[in-house]
């Protein structure tokens, strides 16, 4: 996007500066934004394959089909041990077949002609202490004041740093045996805070504001009839402990999409740069600890 902005508005910026009695600006000094490598990889503890994508920075965040790269000199290390990396042409992603776990240190270095060498590192977060999930059958009232279940998530939040969590809750639809997104009223303070990120796939991400270092009990009351009448499996819960870098990336990407989601390239709108932890590049190389629970 940077190249397009400069091509379209570079002369205009110079005119504005001169008209405001600024010091004389040499148009050549504005330069052209250097194209960078973009790496996107989120590592989880439950996966036995580490996938990531490599692309060019041009239109990295707003093109429907950014330029994906399928060759590069790279090193992926887990706790200092080098991992073999291959390319999957169907997924258009690189991958390393390896099992990762909590507290693993995962690093990547990529070298490619015409780009600066990039480097990134993440440490997979640990499992939340005293994590527990259970159903309180028929003990809740939904938004229509009808009897329903309570899905209760509890854990102890570490006090050493700010922490980030997420969850996705589904119910098993009777007759189809298909899991559907649970509809529920956001009545817990963590789901009403300004730092909440609701993703398109109905994953809810939040920080530990208000309960840092404390025991947290999160109660979700599904709308009646979604899962509380199922005789066997009722709900499927995905719970996440996110690395802070991953949360910052998602929050900044949300702001970016709100500002420029309609392909408005105006440089005079509210600026909202997308967070990256990739040295000399763009994108995200981060991780999350994932728990999956089937609730009966």
Residue 260, pLDDT score: 64
Residue 83, pLDDT score: 93
**Topology agreement, domain 34-125+275-287 and domain 129-242:** yes
The pTM for the full model equals 0.80
Q: What is the CATH number assigned to the segment(s) 34-125+275-287?
A: 2.60.40
What is the CATH topology of the domain spanning 129-242? Immunoglobulin-like (2.60.40)
Residue 231, pLDDT score: 66
Contact present, 152 and 217 (Cβ < 8 Å): yes
pLDDT block averages, 10 residues each, the chain of length 296: 38 33 40 76 90 83 70 93 94 91 94 92 92 88 85 90 92 82 84 83 90 89 74 84 94 78 45 81 93 86
Domain coordinates in residue numbering, the chain: 34-125+275-287, 129-242
């Amino acid at each position: 996007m940077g190249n397009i902005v400069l091509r379209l508005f570079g002369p205009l910026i110079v005119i504005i500066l001169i008209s405001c009695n600024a010091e004389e600006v040499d148009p050549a000094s504005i330069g052209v934004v250097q194209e960078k490598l973009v790496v996107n990889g989120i590592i989880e503890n439950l996966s036995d394959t580490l996938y990531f994508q490599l692309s060019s920075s041009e239109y990295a965040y707003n093109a429907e089909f950014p330029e994906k790269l399928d060759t590069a000199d790279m090193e992926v290390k887990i706790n200092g041990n080098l991992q073999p990396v291959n390319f999957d042409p169907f997924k258009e992603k690189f991958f390393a077949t390896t099992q990762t776990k909590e507290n693993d240190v995962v690093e990547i270095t990529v070298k490619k002609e015409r780009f600066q060498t990039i480097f990134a590192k993440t440490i997979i977060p640990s499992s939340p202490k005293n994590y527990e999930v259970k159903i309180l059958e028929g003990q809740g009232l939904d938004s229509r004041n009808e009897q329903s279940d309570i899905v209760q998530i509890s854990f102890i939040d570490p006090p050493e740093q700010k922490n980030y969590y997420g969850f996705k809750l589904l119910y098993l639809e009777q007759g189809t045996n298909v899991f559907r997104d649970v509809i529920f009223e956001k009545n817990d303070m963590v789901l009403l805070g300004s730092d909440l990120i609701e993703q398109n796939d109905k994953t809810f991400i939040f920080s530990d504001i208000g309960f840092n270092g404390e025991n947290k009990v999160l109660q979700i009351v599904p709308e009646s009839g979604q899962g509380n009448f199922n005789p066997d499996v009722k709900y499927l819960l995905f719970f996440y402990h996110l690395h802070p870098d991953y949360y910052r990336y998602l929050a900044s990407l949300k702001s970016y999409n709100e500002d420029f989601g309609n392909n408005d390239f105006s440089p005079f709108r509210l600026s909202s740069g997308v967070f990256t932890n990739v040295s000399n590049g763009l994108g995200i190389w981060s991780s999350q600890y994932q728990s999956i629970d089937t609730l009966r």
